[in-house]
Amino acid sequence: MFLKELCELDGVSGNEKKVREYIIEQLKDKADDYKIDKIGNLIVRKKGMDGNILGVPKVLLCAHMDEVGLFITEITNDGFLKFQTVGGIDPKILVSKTVVCGNEVPGVIGSKAIHLQKPEERKQILSIEELYIDIGAVSKEEAENIVKLGDYVAFASRFERLGSGFNKAKALDDRAGCSVIMQILNNQYRCDLVGAFTVQEEVGLRGSKVISNYLEADLAIVVEATMAKDLAETFEEEWIVELGKGPACSLMDSATIYNPELIQKVAELAEKLDIPLQFRRGTTAANDAGNIHQAGRGIPLITLSIPCRNIHTMSSLIAMQDYENCLKLVHSILENIQVFCSNT
Partner 1 sequence: MSGNINLDFSLLKKLTQAYGPSGNEKEIAGLIMGYSKNHVDNVETDILGNLIIRKKGRGKRIMIAAHMDEVGVIVTHIDNNGYLYFSAVGGLNEAGLLARRVMFSNRCYGVIGRERKESEEEKSKGKYFIDIGVNSEEEARKMVREGDMAILTGEFVENGSHIISKAIDNRLGCFIALEVLKNYQGEDDVFFVFTVQEEVGARGAKTAAFAIEPDLALIIDTTISYDTPKEKYRTSLNNGVAIKVMDRSIIVSPVIKNWMIDIAVKNNIVFQSEIISAGGTDSGPVHLTKGGVPTGGIAVPVRYLHSGSEITTKLDIESAYRLLSELLKNPFAS
Q: Which is nearer to partner 1, 204 or 298 (CB)?
A: 298
Count residues contacting partner 1 (CB under 8 A)?
Answer: 22
Q: How many CA atoms within 13 Å lie on the side-chain side of 145?
A: 6
Please, which of residues 280-339 interact with partner 1 by CB under 8 A?
Answer: 281-283, 293-294, 296-300
Q: Which is nearer to partner 1, 188 or 344 (CB)?
A: 344
Q: Which is nearer to partner 1, 73 or 254 (CB)?
A: 254
Q: Which of 257, 268, 271, 339 binds partner 1 (CB under 8 A)?
A: 257
Q: Which of 276, 279, 336, 341 binds partner 1 (CB under 8 A)?
A: 279
Q: Which is nearer to partner 1, 163 or 260 (CB)?
A: 260
Q: Least separation, in Å, of the C-beta of 263 and partner 1?
A: 6
Please, which of residues 224-253 interact with partner 1 by CB under 8 A?
Answer: 236-237, 251-252
Q: Which is nearer to partner 1, 280 or 312 (CB)?
A: 280
Q: Least separation, in Å, of the C-beta of 284 and partner 1?
A: 8
Of the residues 201, 202, 224, 242, which is catalytic?
A: 201
Q: Least separation, in Å, of the C-beta of 327 and partner 1?
A: 23
Q: Least separation, in Å, of the C-beta of 288 and partner 1?
A: 15
Task: Write out the chain in H/E/C secondary structure.
Answer: CCHHHHHHCCCECCCCHHHHHHHHHHHCCCCCEEEECCCCCEEEEECCCCCCCCCCCEEEEEEECCECEEEEEEECCCCCEEEEEECCCCHHHCCCCEEEECCCEEEEEECCCHHHCCHHHHHCCCCHHHCEEECCCCCHHHHHHHCCCCCEEEECCCCEEECCCEEEECCHHHHHHHHHHHHHCCCCECEEEEEEEECCCCCCCHHHHHHCCCCCCCEEEEEEEEECCCCCCCCHHHCCCCCCCCCEEECECCCCECCHHHHHHHHHHHHHCCCCCEEECCCCCCCCHHHHCCCCCCCCEEEEEEEEECCCCCCEEEEHHHHHHHHHHHHHHHHCHHHHCCCC
Interior/surface letters 295-326, b for 16+ CB within 10 angstroms, e for the rest: beeebbbbbbbbbbbebbbbbbbbbbbbbbbb
Binding string, residues 178-217; x marks residues near partner 1 by CB under 8 A? ----------------------------------------
Q: Least separation, in Å, of the C-beta of 209 and partner 1?
A: 12
Q: Least separation, in Å, of the C-beta of 184 and partner 1?
A: 23
Applying CB under 8 A, does 255 fall inside the site for partner 1? yes
201 catalytic per annotation: yes
Q: Which is nearer to partner 1, 149 or 257 (CB)?
A: 257
Listed ranges 55-63, 69-77, 105-113, 275-283: which one lies at the site for partner 1 (CB under 8 A): 275-283
Q: Other C-beta atoms within 10 Å of 68: how many?
A: 23
Catalytic residue list = 201
**Site residues (vs partner 1, CB under 8 A):** 236-237, 251-252, 255, 257-260, 263, 279, 281-283, 293-294, 296-300, 344
